[in-house]
Amino acid sequence: MFKRTLFDSDHEMFRDVVDRFIADNVAPYHAQWEKDGQVSRALWTKAGEVGLLCTTIPEQYGGVGVDFLYATVVQEQFSYHNYSGPGFAVHSDIVAPYILNYGSEALKSEWLPRMARGEAIGAIGMSEPSAGSDVKEIRTTAIRDGDDYVINGQKVFITNGQMCDFIVLAAKTDPAAGAKGVSLILVEADREGFTKGRNLEKVGYKAQDTSELFFHDVRVPVGNLIGEEGRGFAQLMDELPQERLLQAIRSTVSVESALEWTLDYTTERKAFGRAVADFQNTRFKLAEIRSRSVMLRVFLDRCIEMHVAGELTAIDAAMAKMLASEIQSEVLDTCLQLHGGYGYMWEYPIARAWTDARMMRIAGGTGEIMRELIGRDLIKSHVSK
């Protein structure tokens, strides 16, 4: 078995806490949440009580104040057990850092403790019907009017969209300035004119609420601005590497889990008088999956190590996200095939993981965008030699 060296005994003790939480509070209910299209509100407060939310947020703001490896553990264990419903990573490791790193003291003091307790659920609003990976093309506007911004526009594919109490919204404060006109603004869900649309019915991630959001003349005080006007695009680019790393973590663990499930199935399932694992084709496929998973794990753990040290670049994260999501998609398809007809049955974890996996090649920037970023950087580095 490949031995990892990232975690110490405290991290592993925390992993046990996460596993117990999942066994007690997630496993018995996740199937129903898949039918409901969202998890229970009570799950969030329970997660806050045991310290699963906002682990990297300093204690002065209600967080646990530990390193990113604890957030990694939470992401890994939910991925390992194949429970995609709770949108904890978006809330804790994507939304909260925007407030911590760029928000005013008033915003940090008001929202971060409530997020850590699971009392206020956060979402991030970037994607629009006409702008996905290309954030600078968003059309939602936030026009200054005295002491307020007046917001008009629409967002789509928003994780935690149905349950959110607020959203960190990317909007154009200067529509004529392109990327330099984008700003981030915290918008409370109870603001007049802020409407939550339908809970979108997705191919996978069925227990995770994902919504359309509408903004019609929503007035928000200028104090809700996160950082400086016109700096939103730069802030998004600075934080996207962590988002993409989290996605790579989920994809990599999914590959490892799928291999375990497939080994269990093929060693027990009989065909033509012998175990499916006894056929050369099966052994070759499993050998390929194992080799790819180890190579991916080594690279990803190095990326996590660099991120903890503050050394992970946007290009590193793009490569990790691209490779992990594409290897995951290929591996899960192979593993499902090795399960035969049972692999297509929803009660088998490989079926749910297979449907969830397709999203990973899109969210956080498509594989094509990752290639563009990596290729552009490669050419630029070569030319500047």
Give the contacts of 6 (CB within 8 A, at least 6 positions apart).
Answer: 69, 72, 301, 304, 305
Determine whether 76 is an active site residue.
Answer: no
Q: Of the residues 212, 229, 243, 256, which is catalytic?
A: 243
CA atoms of 153 and 175, how far apart (whole Å): 12
CA distances from 268 to 22, 264, 276, 342, 348 (A): 27, 6, 8, 13, 15
- What pairing do the DSSP bridges indicate for beta strands 166-172 and 122-125? parallel
Rounded Cα–Cα distance for residues 268 and 263 (Å):
9
As to burial, measured by CB atoms within 10 angstroms (0-12 exposed, 13-18 middle, 19+ buried), residue 165 is middle
85 three-state secondary structure: coil
Distance CA 76, CA 171 (A): 32
CA atoms within 13 A on the CB side of 41: 7
Bridge partners, 210 (sequence order): 159
Contact status, residue 47 vs residue 86, Cβ threshold 8 Å: yes
Name the region of 76 (left: φ>0; alpha: ψ -120 to 50; beta: rest): alpha
C-alpha separations of 327 from 108, 220, 230, 240, 287 in Å: 38, 43, 37, 21, 14
Active site residues: 243
